[in-house]
Amino acid sequence: MIVDDEPRTRTGLSRMLEAWNGGRYAIRAAADGREALGILERERVRLLITDIKMPEISGLHLADTLKAMPEEERPAIILISGYAEFEFAQRAIQLGVVDYLLKPIGREKLISAVERALAQAEERARIGRMEKVVDRELLQTGDTGRPLSDSVREALEYIDENLDQPFTMRDAATRVHLNPSYFSVLFKDEMGMTFSEYVTRRRLQRAKDMLLRTKLTVAEIAERVGYQSAKHFAKMFRQYEGSSPGDYRNHSS
């Protein structure tokens, strides 16, 4: 989105970006900060290019307002100005602005700044997705201060290799050549949670990743993480995540 109260600047920047864009991104334009905030309420914006000096809501004020957004949803920001003022540049740095461009803006400088800003926005979104997918309980498994036994290590490999298939604790115990009862106690002792809970959390972790990265249906994802029933998958998802798979996808993407 391009925000500038000068129509000529808005048009010029839009044309340069449309020519470079090749249809990959939709370009929006706003004549002031208030109009920009209205667009931001309705649409997901990946990159904001805004003039610093505008009536009512300045570019700096607009950038400061966006700090309240969740980091993974916050657009990358490029500030533009007709004045090379140190105070502006200093504040831009404090706001985490990607670049500070002086008018008139040449095509090469604009495209270079835009590509850098979009890369930053994508990295921020990637980190945000990882944080949503990660299971804090799984991060703590095996944190007992002593190394895992070979049997439990092999069982963990078996689980990851077969998450798309239904299997039982007995199947895993057979794979590592242990009595199921002994294996159950050993697994919980070393991993800090039962075999069943661990498998469920791993399946849901993989499902969350698919919900955010793919357009597969909930039923298709359920099947790919080892659930024979989409209804049972949805029930377990809600139990562990507090929402349905569909709501999780809609609120996290």
Domain identity same for 99 and 206 = no
Domain identity same for 141 and 102 = no
Number of domains composing the chain: 2
Give the Cα separation of 20 and 251 in Å (integer): 31
Q: What is the pLDDT of residues 140-166, one digit of tens each?
A: 887 767 889 999 999 999 999 999 999
In sequence order, the 6+-apart residues with CB closer than 8 A to the CB of 144 are: 190, 192
Instruction: Give residue 251's pLDDT.
Output: 79
HSE (side-chain half, CA atoms, 13 Å) at 77: 26
Instruction: Give residue 239's pLDDT.
Output: 96
Give the Cα separation of 142 and 189 in Å (integer): 9
Domain identity same for 121 and 180 = no
Domain identity same for 100 and 156 = no
Give me the CATH number covering residue 146.
Answer: 1.10.10.60
Give the Cα separation of 195 and 231 in Å (integer): 22
Give the Cα separation of 172 and 154 in Å (integer): 9
Instruction: Give residue 253's pLDDT.
Output: 62
Domain identity same for 217 and 124 = no
Give me 129's structure tokens: 């997705």
Give the Cα separation of 134 and 209 in Å (integer): 9
User: Which residues of the chain carry a pLDDT beneath 70?
Assistant: 86, 89, 93-94, 144, 253
Give me 162's structure tokens: 């077969």
Domain identity same for 126 and 232 = no
Domain identity same for 120 and 33 = yes
CA angle 61, 65, 68 (to 5 degrees): 160
Q: What is the pLDDT of residues 77-111, one digit of tens each?
A: 999 988 777 677 677 766 778 888 988 899 999 99
Cα dihedral sign, 60-124-1-109: positive
Q: How far is CA 29 from CA 8, 9, 15, 98, 166, in A?
A: 12, 10, 11, 19, 51
Domain identity same for 108 and 216 = no
Instruction: Give residue 12's pLDDT.
Output: 95
Give the Cα separation of 241 and 253 in Å (integer): 16
Domain identity same for 179 and 217 = yes
Instruction: Give residue 86's pLDDT.
Output: 61
With beta carbons less than 8 A apart as the criterion, state whether 34 and 62 touch.
no
Last residue of a domain, one of 81, 113, 130: 130
Domain identity same for 119 and 148 = no
Last residue of a domain, one of 65, 95, 130: 130
Instruction: Give residue 73's pLDDT.
Output: 80
With beta carbons less than 8 A apart as the criterion, state whether 129 and 143 touch.
no
Maximum CA extent, the chain: 77
Domain identity same for 123 and 205 = no
Give the Cα separation of 9 and 6 in Å (integer): 5
Sheet holding 99-102, edge to edge: 29-30, 2-3, 47-51, 76-81, 99-102
Domain that holds residue 189: 136-252
Last residue of a domain, one of 81, 98, 130: 130
For the chain, the C-alpha Rg in angstroms (whole number) is: 25
Instruction: Give residue 129's pLDDT.
Output: 80
